[in-house]
Amino acid sequence: MEEAEKEGRSVEPGSSLQHERTQHKKERILANYIKYKQQYDDFISRLHHLIDRVNSLPMIKREPFGQMEARAKDSKLNNHLNIFSSSRRLIRPGKTGLFSWFRKYHFKHIRVIYIHVPKEPGMAEMEIKENYLIRTALNSKSKTKKSIKPSGTSEKLHVLFYIGMDNLSNEVALDIIDWLAFSRELEETTFFKNLNDQNIRYIS
């Protein structure tokens, strides 16, 4: 019992400190949002509007992705998180070895971008993820398929970066739509080319 009480006392200062750090972070996020509310809200609204327009196009114009998704999500930091995503189906040989070209697999190619207000003044933060998921039959017991990637494609992508609130333009929104539509790679978009390398972090 005494040991349990000691453990409880040792955790309390840490949890209190963590709470203070979280509150401080929320305050800085709020201050950043209040100052740049117009720019950020206008940009997010523009993206939602563009995605609504894309999803209203005839199906033949929306190949290969079908439909894009856009949603706001609550977070503990109240950082005005919004998530935009799309996916497409691929049928390609898998990167499995010497004889990989003799068998083709069904893949789901996913692209997701998270946008929120960080604590860094004057900045918006974006997190981009791209991955390939292999589709397997419900009764499949194979474990090796999970690691198979489609031939002729790049590896999965996970990158975080800051972009100035004043740079959240209509051109950036259109670049993001092009990326979600699989008509451009991230490195081909104008806004990504113009980012400061110090603001980009690749996650392995």
User: In which residue are the tokens 């709470």 written?
Assistant: 19
CB atoms under 10 Å from CB of 156, counted, come to 14
Q: Which two three-digit tokens encode residue 27?
A: 């305050």
What pLDDT is attached to residue 196? 86
Burial category of 105 from C-beta neighbours within 10 Å (exposed 0-12, middle 13-18, buried 19 and up): buried
Kindly give the confidence (pLDDT) of every residue in the chain, 204 residues in length, as a single tens digit, with 9 standing for 90 and above.
344 444 444 445 457 888 899 999 999 999 999 999 999 999 999 999 999 999 999 988 888 888 999 999 999 999 999 999 999 988 766 555 555 555 677 789 999 999 999 999 999 999 999 998 876 544 445 444 444 454 445 568 999 999 999 999 999 999 999 999 999 999 999 999 999 888 899 997
Contact 159, 200 (CB under 8 A): yes
Residue 1 has what pLDDT?
36
pLDDT at 41: 98
Strand order in the sheet with 123-134: 69-73, 81-93, 104-116, 123-134, 157-164, 200-202
Q: What is the pLDDT of residue 132?
A: 87
pLDDT at 145: 46
Global confidence as pTM? 0.81
